[in-house]
Structure 1
Amino acid sequence: MFEKRQLDQAFQDAAVLPLSASSRYALFSDCHRGNGLTGDNFLKNQHLYAAALRYYYENDFTYIELGDGDELWENRSFSSIKEAHASTFQMLARFYEDQRLYLLYGNHDMSKRSRGFSMQCNSFHPCITCRKEPLFPGIRFHSGLVLKNQEPGPDLYLTHGHQADFLNSVLWRQARFLVRYLWSPLERVGFLDPSDPSRKNKKKERIEKSLSGWAKANQCILIAGHTHRPVLEASSCYYNTGSCVRPGYITCIEISQLTATLIKWTIGIRTDLSLSVSREILAGPVSLKDGGCFPGAPAAAPMQKDL
């Protein structure tokens, strides 16, 4: 099956990071940072994302992005994305400087796998009047990443998840052409992109089933994005971070003290009716010592899958 072949390939020579009681990882996916114009789906949640980044930086988390961080199907130029979201990249550059940043590529930013793309990440302008500053000099973009469990329990395999989606993996160039020149312009006037897996429940379920099956066969926990549907269940070998482009909230998965927790960042209202950024637990924490679909896994808190 093409899914197995694609997923196996994603983890060939994958970088390995330790997973221990002292590890702290924040897993995000599908930010789809754009050029700041009307088609930029990241714009509506950029302030929530900025607050989350600040929280994870100040609390010593390592930031891992599981692909589709930048919208490079609709936008040919990465420079325009850096310029539109300079403050976001300024914070990500701080993570990178502290060696706490790992970026994977997905189908919408597949061009990051080329060596030439890394050259575009050496520097950026944090504001119009500033001179160039280092961004991610020498960065390597990954197709997969492994968190190696230092305790008895499954390892965590991280990838974008498009490998289980034929159109967006095997035929990604054709899909990019259709999105860039057909569906992106039509979407601006109200039509929906039929290639987008986040809008089709049956397609999501098929992709999730394939990803879960691969994880069971490889006796690991697979954490992905791509479908935009957050998933965290102790009885499953498959978790999903969700996305940063849903109206009014973003989701991510925190790994801390050998547990996984699904987090929702949204706008809250204080008792004095002022607005604030709110961090809510959607599901978990799930133990990673014997977690996932393996015997002895503790039950997770219930969650709403289609938010």
Structure 2
Amino acid sequence: MGMKRHHESFDYLERVYHETPVWPLDPERKYLIFSDLHMGNGKRNDDFAPNSRMFLKVLRSYLEKNYTLILNGDIEELLRFPLQEIFENWDEFFQLLDAFRDGPGLYKIIGNHDLELVDAKNYPYRLYEALRFEYKGNELFIFHGHQTMRRYREYNPLIHYALKYLANPLNIKNYAVSHSSRKRFTTEKRVYQFSSEMKLLSIIGHTHRPLFESMSKSDSIRFEIERLCRKYPKTSDEKRIKVEQKISDLRIQLKAVLEQDDGFEERNSLYNANLVVPCMFNSGTVVGKRGMTCLEIKGGKILLRHWFDAGRTKRYLESQTRKPKELDDTGIYKVKMKEDSLDYIFTRISLLGGPDLSGQAE
């Protein structure tokens, strides 16, 4: 099978899964999933600060639309900053959390960077290690993702010391697993194999890389290029120009993704597997250089959304493959990256999931 059953990360995830209570996924509710805010004190070392204006406006818009909010770990950056400083600097954020908690709903999952909240006194929000939702006999399993690595579960105090007393004084940014291609891929591979074997739809954060149906950005771009190439011969001459423009734009995007990752993603795509099960999703991060991403679940569908501030980047305004929509007159735009029905996804998980038939161990 894909992951050895005696592997400690599989055993740990299995224990978390079985210890997590199950709620029904309410078809009348709309769910919003953000992760990895890494909120600090608002100063130079605060990774959240550059996108904070955009995030707070976007979060308020979701509240007004009555979304239930799921925060999937690493919200407060407690490995670098005291909780009280974070509360004092980001009061507007916590007021919004109060409004979600007292209104449409709030679920707050812990990550490795805010694990100290478990021991915090008088913390105002209920904390979860994971969530399980039942949908038509199938399940969504939501957890941060650090549980796949023993070092993040057992050595957090050492990481805390290094970040607070070495990285902070030297103004070193908080990169960790999200900027290590090998660590990121290891995390994703372990979650993918666990979810496939258990026939679950898992949603993580942690790696900061948005994933949809187990596909990374480069995988998605390749599949879209292939789809457009198949479509091209059947397209009228008038529409072929648009298809050509889309393919050209996608090729540029793919080149940029692979260059940024030094080709590691290309060599280690999950599509090296015999069959890829659409069992793994990642909401991405709020601290991206070109914006932030989230997942929306509503009306029996799941959707990957990208938000960006036109004052900081205009990349998607010029894209031939996306049609951004502005949030009021804020200069903040949203783009629908991918969308699919839960029924179709769970059908594929049910039929394709289970032990890996390739016989390859992790």
Q: Does 1:94 align with 2:80?
A: no
Counterpart AA for 2:70: I
Structure 2 partner of 1:24: 30
Asked whether the 8 Å contact 1:231–1:242 carries over to 2, the reply is yes
The Cα shift of 1:180 comes to: 1.9
User: 2:200: which partner in 1?
Assistant: 220
> Alignment partner of 1:107: what SS?
coil
1:69 partner SS: coil
Normalising by structure 1, what TM-score? Answer: 0.81
Correspondences of 1:76-91 after superposition (within 5 Å): 77-91=82-96
Q: Which residue of 2 aligns with 1:74?
A: 80
**Can you list the C-alpha shifts for 1:216-250, whole angstroms capped at 9, x where unaligned?**
12211110000000001274211000011112411
Q: Cα distance, 1:118 vs. partner?
A: 5.0
Task: Give the greater-gyration-radius structure (CA).
Answer: 2
Question: 1:35 deviation in Å?
Answer: 1.0
The Cα offsets for residues 41-94 of structure 1, whole Å up to 9 and x where unpaired, read as 10001111112211211111100001101000001x211101100111111110
Name stretches of at least 5 consecutive residues in structure 2 with no aligned partner: 1-6, 215-276, 311-316, 318-324, 353-362
CA contact (8 A) 2:66 2:104 kept: no
- Tell me the number of residue pairs that the alignment of Structure 1 and Structure 2 aligns: 268
Amino acid at match of 1:172: N
* Superposition map of 1:94-243 within 5 A: 94-98=99-103, 100-114=105-119, 117-119=120-122, 121=123, 136=124, 139-149=125-135, 151-152=136-137, 154-186=138-170, 188=171, 191=172, 196-233=176-213, 235-243=277-285
Native 8 Å contact 2:67 2:104 kept in 1: no
Residue 14 of structure 1, CA deviation: 2.0
Which segments of 5 or more consecutive residues in structure 1 lack a partner in the other structure?
122-135, 298-307
3-state SS of the aligned residue for 1:217? helix
For residues 193 and 19 of structure 1, the distance between their equivalents in structure 2, rounded to whole angstroms, comes to 34
**Of residues 29, 36, 40 in structure 1, which corresponds to 2:42?**
36
The residue identity in structure 2 corresponding to 1:44 is: P
Report whether the alignment pairs 1:289 with 2:343.
yes
Structure with higher helix content: 2
CA distance, structure 2, for counterparts of residue 118 and residue 25 of structure 1: 28
CA distance in 1, matches of 2:23, 2:93: 25
Alignment-derived partner of residue 259 in structure 1? 301
Q: What TM-score comes out, normalization by structure 2 length?
A: 0.69
- Contact 2:306 / 2:335 at 8 angstroms: preserved in 1? yes
Higher-strand-fraction structure? 1
In structure 2, the CA distance between the partners of 1:192 and 1:63, relative to structure 1 (3 Å rule), is closer
Distance in 2 of aligned mates of 1:184 and 1:220: 39
Identity rate, percent: 27
Q: CA deviation at 1:16?
A: 3.0
User: Take 1:193 and 1:244, find their aligned partners in 2: how far apart are those partners?
Assistant: 14
| Secondary structure of 2:289's aligned partner | coil
Look up the match of 1:276. Answer: 331
Q: Is the 8 A contact 1:106 1:160 kept in 2?
A: yes
